[in-house]
Amino acid sequence: SSPVQHSSAEHEMVVVANRLPVDSRTLPDGATEWVTSPGGLVTAMESVMRTVDSGAWVGWAGAPGEAPAPFEADGMSLYPVRLEQEDVERYYEGYSNATLWPLYHDVIVDPEFHRGWWDSYLAANRRFAEAAAPVAAPGGTIWVHDYQLQLVPRMIRDKRSDVRIGFFNHIPFPSVELFSQLPKRNSILRGLLGADLLGFQRESDTLNFVAAVRKLLGYHVDGTTISVPGIGAAPVREVQARTFPISIDSATVSELTEDSAIRARAEELRRDLGDPERIVLGVDRLDYTKGIRHRLKAWGELLDDGSIDPHDTVMIQVATPSRERVEAYRQLRDEVELTVGRINGEHAPLGRPAVSYQHHSFDRREMTALFMAADVVLVTALRDGMNLVAKEYVASRPDLQGVLVLSEFAGAADELRAAVLVNPHDIDELKAAILRALAMPAEEQEEAMRSLRHQVMENDVQAWAHDFLQQLEAMHTPAGDTAPA
Ligand code: GDG
């Protein structure tokens, strides 16, 4: 990394997200090194950024306190936003992850409403907007991401009438009845409507948003077009709300399966588990939205009633650590670990687990080996914007074997119709689906996997980003070439 070469106000394309696409690492000599964090959004944006001369990314560098100076990495200019410890607690862990996250995921746990958290959310959003507004070129594009930054589009719009602003919501948008619980709900809607184009994962999310705008703000809506009245003499602005299901870098994931070291690792994994006939896999952030408890309950009952023999069949649950300072996540971890301990205590044969529980993260290659080794993958989310794990499993099976059990409550269920679809709240149905998946003949697996792969390989994250930006680009040119305020 090196200091930013460009002067401000010349980036054609600016991404704003809570986190920067890099993590800082402190070297033994005390110096800081930046490592790219390989998330889906980063991958998607990399391909977009390659096509623009000067792309910028505005976000938090991940450590509270003084922000590093802007710097260049991976051909992008990175603009770190400062968050104090108190912002992390109130804006991020509080309002974003203990108010919005549970509310937007259909109140699986109770959202907490605290007025102090809102003040901090507002202030933090302002800081992101203030960092982003001056760095976009005249007439440039600013793409804001996710529920932590819903006030940013309007805040940027107030400073820059010349730029195009897009917003993508990675998580569900709740029904108007649930959304109405949110204190300051109208400020959130007005914040979002500062954008020209609002993207959602599934059609139902888009419809929920539009219904909230109509009911709570009373704005006129015609199909996907929302008419936002101007303040004072300002003209009406037209805002589009549309559906863009996110995806993965499908070709890269699929190609990893050809790597001989990864293939060998997949076989070794199976041997390490005592050569079971069947491996069933779950991969999730340790989050209450992912339905890990429901999955373990079903698995425990299948072992209890003898439908599954732990000598033949092993379950691996990767539960990546997440939001460990938020109370609901601590409780979840305790419950999951208690349940895994009980299942293993009652059912694990000597020397091998009934459930191999992994509370840490794996690198991409190891993850691919896991997908290649898994006969069945369980995605039992109670609510999930999309769920990329489901798509990654499909991309990891060019051999056309393996079965995906997929919750109807994950956005991916709209596209991945050939999966074994389940309602994870119905434990009997979930148990039956697991048994069906384990018993599925090879030809039937092949037929389903072929159809799933068609969907995932054709619709990758590059196409998703391209589609969003093209639709944003196609919107009517913003008025004038106002210089940044
Ligand atoms: C949000 C929305 C939406 C997990 N553990 C490890 C690891 N992962 C990777 C997975 C996958 C990603 O993290 C998780 O993505 P998901 O989509 O499954 O879920 P969220 O984190 O909740 O993401 C979601 C998404 O945003 C995108 O819009 O789909 O609905 O909630 O890629 O593979 N990766 C590695 N090691 C791990 O241990 N390397």
**DSSP reduced 3-state for 182:** coil
pLDDT tens per residue across span 221-238: 999 999 999 888 888 999
Q: What residues are labeled active site? A: 170, 384
pLDDT at 483: 43
- Ligand 1 pocket: which of 285, 359, 393, 408 to mutate (most atoms within 8 A of CB): 285
Residue 481, pLDDT > 60, answer no
Position 355 scores a pLDDT of 98
> Counting every residue, how long is the chain?
485
Q: Does any ligand 1 atom lie closer than 6 A to the CB of residue 245?
A: no
Give the ipTM of the model, two decimals please: 0.97
Q: Is 471 in the pocket of ligand 1 (CB under 6 A)?
A: no
Is there an atom of ligand 1 within 6 Å of 159 CB? no
Rounded to whole angstroms, what are the CA distances from 213 to 104, 175, 207, 228, 411? 16, 11, 10, 10, 22
Residue 476 has pLDDT above 80, yes or no: no
Indicate if ligand 1 lies below 6 Å from the C-beta of 362. Answer: yes
Nearest Cα residue to 473 out of 84, 196, 65, 156: 196
Q: For the segment 198-220, what is each residue's pLDDT rounded down to a tens digit?
A: 999 999 999 999 999 999 999 99
Q: Report the percentage of the chain scoring pLDDT > 90.
A: 84
pLDDT of the residue at 39: 66
Ligand 1 atom nearest the C-alpha of 360 is: 38
Which residue has the CA at smallest separation from atom 37 of ligand 1? 361
> Taking residues 167-196, what's their average pLDDT?
97
Does 1 have pLDDT greater than 70?
no
On the question of pLDDT at 408 being above 80, the answer is yes
| Rounded distance between C-alpha atoms, residue 54 and residue 76, angstroms | 7
Stronger pLDDT, 180 or 481, i.e. the higher one: 180
The pLDDT value given to residue 156: 98
Whether 122 shows a pLDDT value over 60: the answer reads yes
Q: Do the beta carbons of residue 408 and residue 291 sit within 8 Å?
A: no
Q: What's the chain's average pLDDT? A: 93
Residue 49: its pLDDT value, please? 80
Q: What is the pLDDT of residue 79?
A: 96
113 touches ligand 1 (CB under 6 Å): no
Lowest mean pLDDT among 8-17, 107-116, 271-280, 430-439: 8-17
pLDDT reported for residue 370: 98
Q: What is the pLDDT of residues 422-439, one digit of tens each?
A: 999 999 999 999 999 999
Q: Rounded to an integer, what is the distance from CA 121 to the centroid of its chain?
A: 20
Look at residue 333 and tell me whether its pLDDT is greater than 60.
yes
The pTM of this model reads 0.94
**Per-residue model confidence as pLDDT tens digits over 42-101:** 777 777 787 777 899 999 998 899 999 999 987 889 999 999 999 999 999 999 999 999
> For residue range 236-250, what is the model confidence (pLDDT) as tens digits?
999 999 999 999 999
Q: Is the dihedral of CA 442, 448, 453, 458 positive or negative?
A: positive
Work out the pLDDT band at 27, boundaries 50, 70, 90: confident
Q: Is the pLDDT of residue 477 over 80?
A: no
Three-state DSSP class for residue 401: coil
Structure tokens at 275: 């050569």
Rg (CA), the chain: 23
Q: Atom 20, ligand 1: which residue's CA is nearest?
A: 387
